[in-house]
Amino acid sequence: MKTLITIAAVAAFAGTGYAQIMTTLPPSSTTEGVLINTIGVNAGATHWDSASSLGSFKNIGSTEGTASINSSAYNPLGLVFASAIPAALQSSLNAVNAKGGIIRTIFLAESASWQDSLGYTYSGNFAGPQSFTALAKIENDPASGNPSTVQFGSYFDVSLSVGAENSFDFWFQGENATYGGDYTLFHPSNSSNYIAPGNALWSQQSVVANTWNAALNAYVDQTTYIVGLGDWRLDRGSDNDYSDTVIALQFYTLSGTPFEPGAVPEPSTYGLIGASALLGLVALRRRMRKSQLTPQG
């Protein structure tokens, strides 16, 4: 949201008694061991910086405007964004709920003039118990003395036990006390205040982000979903851009391997996999031969 609030708009809302958002953010995620990681080994044109993948959204961070997340200016890949969570992403959420898992959140860009914040809650409510702030005051506007507190590719991982996803959610705060709000993503009706269809738009198609996977010791083509967030309450003259903060989500098992079967290791990794399989086959044949040569009692 880069639009200046006009005098007329201010006058329209003056004295209306609208409830203000919470000004105090929940505790930092670091208090429970959830740290913000830099892009690190995922940097580079063949990984997250790829212009045909996550890197295509970096342009948002270099501008201040009200372009929609559905516009070619902010969405050169032409992804379709809608308020409904796509079926494939919902399937990943269901898998996390059934088996436990890890949800990775990657910061891509922001175009907001407000100092918005992003976090998560295990209770499903921004103001509820077990709510934490991951990215605080993330506006990038050095000219006004507000340098960004987070850079493209920064990410954090939240681990969920079996069944925990039912009440888990991400929250996004539009920090303006009159025109902003505290919004939840998976269950938007828990937002304060909730105005349909909510303040998150979901990419209906996934993108492939070549991602380092420590569990597999390899780069993997990881299915990734883009989410565009709007900070202005929809009933107060919102610009409906949904580009104020843009994040990406990835899903992993509790052991750190990709949830979806479509995650494919890079070609160089196949040699390692094949070598391991060959060694296993040789060992098996040796055991079988030894068994055949051992006299039977």
| Per-chain mean pLDDT for the chain | 82
Q: Tell whether 41 and 136 lie within a shared domain.
A: yes
For 193-240, the pLDDT digits (tens) are 899 999 999 999 999 999 999 999 999 999 999 999 999 999 998 888
pLDDT attached to residue 110: 87
What is the greatest pairwise CA distance in the chain?
Answer: 98
| Together in a domain, 256 and 283 | no
Same domain, 118 and 240: yes
Answer whether residue 1 is part of any domain: no
Strands (E), 161-217: 169-174, 181-184, 200-203, 207-213
Preceding omega of 197 cis (within 30 degrees of 0): yes
Identify whether 214 is part of a domain.
yes
Please give the pLDDT value at position 8. 33
Q: Both 253 and 274 in a single domain?
A: no
Q: Are 260 and 221 in contact (CB under 8 A)?
A: no
* Residue 126 and residue 52 share a domain: yes
As a whole number of angstroms, the distance between CA 224 and CA 252 comes to 11
Mean pLDDT of the region 265-269: 50
pLDDT the model gives residue 137: 86
Range of the domain at 285: 267-297
Helix (H, G, I), strand (E, B) or coil at 250: strand
- What is the predicted pLDDT for the residue at 7? 31
**Residues contacting residue 202 through CB under 8 Å, at least 6 positions apart:** 81, 82, 83, 84, 85, 86, 89, 225, 226, 227
Please state, for a pLDDT cut of 90, what percent of the chain lies above it.
58
Contact 103, 149 (CB under 8 A): no
What number is the average pLDDT over the span 51-65? Answer: 82
234-252 confidence digits (pLDDT tens): 999 888 889 889 999 999 9
Contact 118, 135 (CB under 8 A): yes
CA distance 108 to 74: 12
Is 34 inside any structural domain?
A: yes
Cβ neighbour number for residue 262 with a 10 Å cutoff: 12
Same domain, 100 and 118: yes
Q: What pLDDT band is residue 83 in, cutting at 50, 70 and 90?
A: very high
- Cα separation of 73 and 120, whole Å? 29
**Residue-level pLDDT at 276:** 45
Which of the four pLDDT bands, split at 50, 70 and 90, describes residue 265? low
Residue 56 sits in the same domain as residue 137: yes
Shared-domain flag, residues 193 and 277: no
Mean pLDDT computed over 157-182: 93
Cβ-in-10-Å burial (0-12, 13-18, 19+) of 57 comes to buried
Domain co-membership, 273 together with 230: no
**pTM exceeds 0.85, yes or no:** no
**Cβ proximity of 54 and 48 under 8 Å:** yes
Position 145 confidence tier, pLDDT thresholds 50, 70, 90: low
Q: Which of 149, 127, 95, 129 is nearest to 258 (CA)?
A: 95
Whether residues 143 and 24 share a domain: the answer is yes
The count of domains in the chain is 2
Hey, how many other C-beta atoms are within 10 angstroms of the C-beta on 125? 19
Out of 4-8, 24-28, 218-222, 224-228, least confident range: 4-8
Mean pLDDT is lowest, of 16-30, 145-159, 166-180, 253-267, for: 16-30
Confidence grade of residue 191 (pLDDT, cut at 50, 70, 90): very high
Q: For residue 49, what pLDDT is reported? A: 97
Query: Is the same domain home to 158 and 74?
Result: yes
Separation of alpha carbons 133 and 138, rounded Å: 11
Q: Which residue has the higher pLDDT, 19 or 25?
A: 25
Q: Is residue 19 part of a domain?
A: yes
Q: How many CA atoms lie within 13 A of 277 on its CB side?
A: 6
Query: Do 272 and 199 reside in the same domain of the chain?
Result: no
233 burial type by CB count under 10 A (0-12 exposed, 13-18 middle, 19+ buried): buried
Residues 202, 29 contacting (CB under 8 angstroms): no
CB 182 within 8 A of CB 192: yes
Q: Residue 2 domain-assigned?
A: no
> CA 239: distance to chain centroid?
22
